[in-house]
Structures are given as C-alpha cells and as structure tokens.
Amino acid sequence: MDQFLTLTKIAIDQEKSKDYTRAFNSFNKALAFTKDENTILKIRSRQAWCLHLVGNPDETQNIYEQLIESYPQNSWSYLLYARYLIKTKRFKAAKTLLAKASKVFQDNLEIYLTLASLLKDMERSNEAIDVLKLALAQETLTRGRGIRRKDMWAELGSLFFQRGDYNSAISALKKSLRMDTEDHFLHYDILGLCYLLVGDPENSVYFIDKYVQFNGEVDVELLVIKARAHTRLGANHLACASLLQAYSVDDRLILDADDMVDLAPLKQIGFLETLENLEIED
C-alpha cells in the first residue's frame, strides 16, 4: 500500500506539472499495487485524461470503452466516461451514455444526478425533472457525493420553480424540508416567493422569516417580496418597514411592474414618494 500511495502521489505531481507522459507511466506502475475495482477505474480514467492532453483522444476513447467492457457491473465505468464526455463538451454522447447507465444501475443516485445536471445545463429542464422523478420513484438509492434523497427533492423543487410551476415547486420543497432539520434547509427563500406567486401571502411571510431566522440576514429582493406579501395582507405599516430596510442596503431601491401591482397601496398613501432614490422599471 505504501508503494501504491507513493507512486500515485508522484503521478499526480507529474500531472500537475503537465508532464503527462511520465504521469501516465507512474499511474501504470501504481496499478500493479491495487486490486480495488473503483481505484483501478479512477486511475485508468486519469491515464485516459493524460492521453487526451497529449493529443491522443482516440486512445482516450478506447480506454473508457474498455473499462465499460471490462467492468460492466461497476457504475464508475459509466460515470467516469460520462464526465470525460461532459468535460470535452460532447453533451449528446454523455446524455446517451448516462441514460443507458440509469437503466443498468437503477438505484445509483450519482448517475441520476449527473444526468439531471447535464440536462439542466443543456436547458432541457423538463427532461431533468423526469430524471429526478424517476430517481425518487426508486425504493432505495445509493448516496452520491454526500447528497441524499432530500437534496433531490430540493433540486426538483428548484427546477419546477424555474419552469414556473410554483405549486409543484412548493410540494417538492416541502418534502425536502420534512426530511431535513429546519436549520439545515436551504430553500426558505424560494418557498417564500412561491407562496406569494400562488396567492398565499401569509405563508410567504412565514417562510421569508424562516430564511432570516436561519441565515441571519436577508437580501433586497426578499425584503421587497415580504413587503408585497404584507400589502396583500393589509399590513401596510409592515410593508413600509420592509421597504425601508431594503432601501437602507444601498440607499436606493429598484421596483418593477410586478412589484408595483402589490405595492400600489403604498403609492396611494404617499410612502413611495418619501424614498428619494426610487426607480420603477416598466
């Protein structure tokens, strides 16, 4: 094991120094001292990357294809190849490979996450949503990069939010919240906005306050959302307080047409005219 660690460290140092041929050879020597499949796959992947960097992509491709052929029951053979394809911007090929892998390894969280992330980056959020739904339908899932089922529900909620499906976003995010502790949940702000957008200002204020409780501060956008929620509840004095807090951050405030739909009562009572550096965008 000492020789394996020594040779691996040498190889990594050579790789960092851009001495890719020597790094490849040092990785090759290290392989003689391990029989662990995952370790072998990861070292072979680094060797493949060294070949790519010296201008031999065909041999790089051969290595990854050989790994899948030699280790068809190990998910890392697919994941490492997919990461290489993504890194070299061959997104369609990576998508095809990961879709195939998700059928072979139906409980592998890492594969679903990598595929969903790729689809999201390709601006194919509907497909990313379908992948996460498929993953969450599995009875058991392996853990990947410290990510658990609650994190997948949160990511699904974020995707629904980006698509404008606010009720589905709320449902997914609250499932994540129920699997988490209150102080570790990271999406109170999205919940606050979603509740405003579905016409539930009381819950909007509640979740924005939760965000402040666990984060210690709140940004201008959330303060404006809270002010909008307060006006819908008829609490104009609380709405004014939220806007003053938002204004004090930069001694200026920018509101848009959507904001003004809710904040019109504050304009009617003359409050907005007291803010000198107020800009209202169309």
Q: Where are the beta strands (DSSP E) in 78-220?
A: none
What DSSP element (H or E) covers 247?
Answer: helix 236-250
pLDDT for 272 beyond 60:
yes
Q: What is the pLDDT of residue 145?
A: 66
Tell me how far CA of residue 57 lies from CA of 40, 49, 88, 93, 98, in angstroms. 20, 9, 10, 15, 20
Task: Say if CB 119 and CB 125 are below 8 A apart.
Answer: yes
CB under 8 A, 24+ apart: contacts of 256-260: 256/280, 256/281, 256/282, 257/281, 257/282, 259/224, 259/228
Average model confidence (pLDDT) for the chain?
Answer: 93
Please give the pLDDT value at position 268. Answer: 93
* Structure confidence at residue 149 (pLDDT): 87
What are the φ/ψ torsions at residue 183 (nearest 5 degrees)?
-80, -10
Cβ within 8 Å of residue 195, ≥6 positions away: 170, 201, 203, 204, 206, 207, 229
Per-residue confidence (pLDDT) for residue 1, from 0 to 100: 56
Distance CA 186, CA 197 (A): 19
Nearest-angstrom CA–CA distance, 205 and 232: 11
Collapsing DSSP to helix, strand or coil, 178 comes out as helix
Which of 39, 49, 45, 41 lies closest to 1 in space, CA to CA?
Answer: 39
User: Using 50, 70 and 90 to split pLDDT, how confident is the model at 23?
Assistant: very high
33-72 residue pLDDT tens:
999 999 999 999 999 999 999 999 999 999 999 999 999 9
User: 119 and 127 in contact (C-beta within 8 Å)?
Assistant: yes
Residue 67 to residue 74: CA distance in whole angstroms: 9
Residue 144 pLDDT > 70: no
CA distance 51 to 66: 15
| Percent of the chain with pLDDT strictly greater than 90 | 86
